[in-house]
Structure 1
Amino acid sequence: MSLLQHQEAVLIEKAKTGDVESFELLIASYQKRAFNIAYRMLGNLEDANDITQEALVKVYRSIHNFKGNSSFSTWLYSIVNNVCIDFIRKNKKAKLLYIDKQQDGESYQREIPDEINTPECLFEKNEIKRMVHDAINQLNYEQRNIIILRDIQGFSYQEIAEMINVSVGTVKSRISRARSNLKEIISENYKVTS
């Protein structure tokens, strides 16, 4: 066990006894990523802030249930993920970002961008990000969630499996299906040919 893991284990044990200061120290390094997960899932800063806070309160209230079968971060992020899913289910009309789409019907080809950060390249990169973000928001919440966890947040298959309580094989299958649907959405909405 590394020194950091030992320090985290000590903070977890103190937090389990109700030590608020230890809990705050424990979650300090995880709050930004927890917010990013919520923001990517919900697409709204205000909702993401609220959901992140709600998830952290749940973590605090249920930390005594943390058994250490997975890493603390995986356990915490799974709670954030579940709170987001509950929010989406309760608010089926959750707002998505970038609803305005260009529907001029023209197809075009994109050149491979030069790595120089000229204004044109930066604009192109931002347009691609917007296009992909818009397409992700069109996926159902299960597929959006799996894409965010794997391709945006960079969690391993094993971590995702622990977070959403399924097998690694199921995670791989869902990611494959979600990526396929994402490619289809991009092709249909933006007339991109593969």
Structure 2
Amino acid sequence: MYEDNILVEQALGGDDGAVEQLYFKYVDSVFRYAYVHLGDYHDAEELTQTVFWKSMQGLHKFKRQSSFKTWLFSIAYRAIIDQSRKQKRQRFLKKRLEDLELRMPQRASVDRQVTAKESYDETISLLQQLPEQYRMVLFLRFVEENSIESTAEVMKRSYKSVQALQYRAQKKLMDLARKEAEQDEG
């Protein structure tokens, strides 16, 4: 994005206001990304801060061959992989998303809010059952609305590999949803 490139240039020039703008523009997205993969609010907060610290320390390495957002998510992706390797066992999404504020319209009825929360919780529960790579591709593509190209760059995969991974992830998610629906009926 053109605006991000200007902010990056200003940040490189020592403008703390530009650094702050970049931070506030992407902090929620990076936090959600970390939370979905780590499943712990405090771990996600810590990782988010680490990602921004690393990005500002390495800002001079940003080549602008991709968007700042893609570059930032590449850092987040590697940080999550590093943290996952350090943990003795993975703890993805064990807590309910009560810690994470749902961004629902203020005028939504209580019934709609409850239904949306239940649907959201069910989706997260299904995502929790997927392998990490599946969760990552689905998050980047559909929550962050990244293109396949950007997702491939973040995940350090080819375009075709991301397409195939996304297809398998969606199929697996649908299979899990069908299986859960069958269990609810039976």
In structure 2, relative to structure 1, the CA distance for the partners of 1:47 and 1:175 (3 Å cut) is same
Give the drift of 1:192. Answer: 6.3
Residues 135 and 21 from structure 1, CA distance in 2 versus in 1: closer, same or farther, beyond 3 angstroms? same
What is the CA-CA distance between 1:165 and the residue it aligns to? 1.8
The one-character-per-residue Cα deviations of 1:45-91 (angstroms, maximum 9, x if unpaired) are 11111110011111011111101000111111221122122222322
Q: CA RMSD in A?
A: 2.5
Query: 1:90, 1:82 → 2: CA distance?
Result: 13
Mark the CA change 1:154 to 1:192 in structure 2 (over 3 Å): closer, same or farther.
farther
CA deviations over 1:100-143 (Å, ceiling 9, x no partner) = xxxxxxxxxxxxxxxx9462x54333322211110101111111
TM-aligned CA deviation for residue 158 of structure 1: 1.4
Aligned residue identity for 2:75: I
**Cα distance between partner residues in 2 of 1:11 and 1:123:** 40
> Measured at CA, do residues 190 and 167 of structure 1 come closer, stay the same or move farther in structure 2, by a change above 3 Å?
same
Counterpart AA for 1:52: T
> Which residue of the other structure, out of 47, 60, 69, is the alignment partner of 2:43?
47
Is 2:114 aligned against 1:123? Answer: yes
- Please, which runs of 5 or more residues in structure 2 have no aligned partner? 97-107
Query: Any conservation in 2 of the 1:30–1:73 contact (CA below 8 Å)?
Result: yes
Is structure 2 residue 18 aligned with structure 1 residue 22?
yes
Q: Is the 8 A contact 1:43 1:95 kept in 2?
A: yes
Give matches, 1:30-179, under 5 Å. Answer: 30-91=26-87, 92-97=89-94, 117=109, 119=111, 121-179=112-170
Counterpart of 2:19 in structure 1: which amino acid? F
Displacement of 1:182 in angstroms is: 1.3
Q: Provide the secondary structure at the position in 2 that maps to 1:171.
A: helix
The DSSP-based 3-state class of the residue aligned with 1:135 is helix
Cα 1:128–1:192, aligned 2, differ >3 Å: closer, same or farther? farther
Alignment CA distance shift 1:44-1:190 (3 Å) = farther
Asked whether the 8 Å contact 2:35–2:93 carries over to 1, the reply is no
**Matches of 2:140 and 2:40, distance apart in 1:** 17
TM-score, normalization by structure 2? 0.79
Quick check: which one's helix share is greater? 2
For structure 1, the 5+ residue unaligned runs are 100-115
Give aligned-pair identity as a percent. Answer: 28
Q: C-alpha separation between the residues in 1 aligned to 2:159 and 2:10?
A: 33
Shift of 1:159: 1.2
CA contact 2:92–2:128 (8 Å) conserved in 1 = no
- Relative to structure 1, the CA distance from residue 57 to residue 190 in structure 2 (aligned partners, 3 Å threshold; closer, same or farther) is same
Give the alignment's TM-score, normalised by structure 1: 0.77
Q: Which residue of 1 aligns with 2:105?
A: none
Structure 1 or 2, whichever has the larger Rg, is 1
Per mean C-alpha deviation after superposition, the further-off stretch among 152-161 and 179-188 is: 179-188
What is the CA–CA distance in structure 1 between the aligned matches of 2:54 and 2:47, rounded to whole Å?
Answer: 10
